[in-house]
């Protein structure tokens, strides 16, 4: 079964030797967990960890997700539950057989990875962490966003952008990228 741990191990194996220059990691939603665990694994292995970790659209890794069974639901029920939680339009996928065939296995695999993830206490990250979310993202509470700060001894900050869970794909994408660029410039 695909897991956060397996994905992180593959990233480390694939990128071994490529991380000699300063770098940052960005992850949104499921990828926020992967980015966090990847940064933690790099630091634990004594490999140069990221200068900065950007996590987006996800409550902190140590926070309970609030659902653990969506990946086991029938297709329509799974998409409706996702629409209720994240605000996407399931009708786009449900109404098109080709889209269902392509996207449902991907969505189910992503949900399996997220819903089977279990946070394990460990050392705090040393890098700077910035946690972002859409102002209307129902899946990320203020406490859940702020809780990312508990996972680093480095500088920490949060920011909300206009939009929902998928704010980073819409009109706010430019603002997000400008914010990240400014953070990287220091």
Distance CA 57, CA 145 (A): 9
Judged by average pLDDT, the poorest of 81-85, 93-97, 150-154, 173-177 is 93-97
Provide the pLDDT confidence category of residue 87 given band limits of 50, 70 and 90: low
pLDDT, tens digit, for every residue of 32-43? Answer: 999 999 999 998
Cα end-to-end distance, the chain, whole Å: 40
| pLDDT confidence of residue 72 | 80
Tokens matching residue 5: 């741990």
Confidence of residue 90 (pLDDT cuts 50, 70, 90): low
Distance CA 65, CA 141 (A): 11
Report residue 21 as tokens.
């220059």
- pLDDT grade, residue 125 (50/70/90)? very high
Give the residue range(s) of CATH 3.40.50.1820 domains in the chain. Answer: 4-15+23-63+123-177
Mean pLDDT computed over 157-183: 93
Chosen CATH of 4-15+23-63+123-177 out of 3.40.50.1820, 3.30.310.50, 3.40.50.1950, 1.10.10.10: 3.40.50.1820
Tell me if residue 56 falls in helix, strand or coil: strand
- Cα separations in angstroms, 136 against 51, 56, 123, 160, 169: 29, 13, 32, 9, 14
């Amino acid at each position: 079964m695909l897991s956060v741990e397996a994905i992180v191990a593959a990233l480390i194996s694939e990128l071994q030797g490529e991380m000699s220059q300063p770098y940052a990691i960005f992850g949104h939603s499921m990828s926020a967990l992967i980015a966090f665990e990847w940064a933690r694994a790099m630091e634990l292995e004594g490999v140069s960890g990221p200068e900065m970790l950007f996590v987006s659209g996800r409550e902190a890794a140590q926070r309970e997700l609030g659902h653990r069974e969506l990946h086991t639901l029938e297709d329509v029920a799974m998409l409706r539950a996702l629409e209720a939680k994240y605000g996407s339009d399931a009708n786009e996928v449900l109404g098109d057989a080709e889209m269902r065939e392509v996207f449902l296995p991907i969505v189910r695999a992503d949900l399996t990875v997220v819903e089977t993830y279990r946070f394990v206490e460990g050392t705090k990250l040393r890098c700077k962490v910035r946690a972002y979310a859409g102002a209307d993202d129902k899946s990320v509470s203020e406490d859940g966003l702020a809780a990312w700060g508990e996972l680093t001894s480095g500088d920490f900050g949060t920011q909300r952008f206009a939009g929902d869970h998928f704010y980073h794909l819409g009109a706010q994408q430019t603002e997000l990228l400008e914010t990240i660029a400014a953070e990287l410039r220091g």
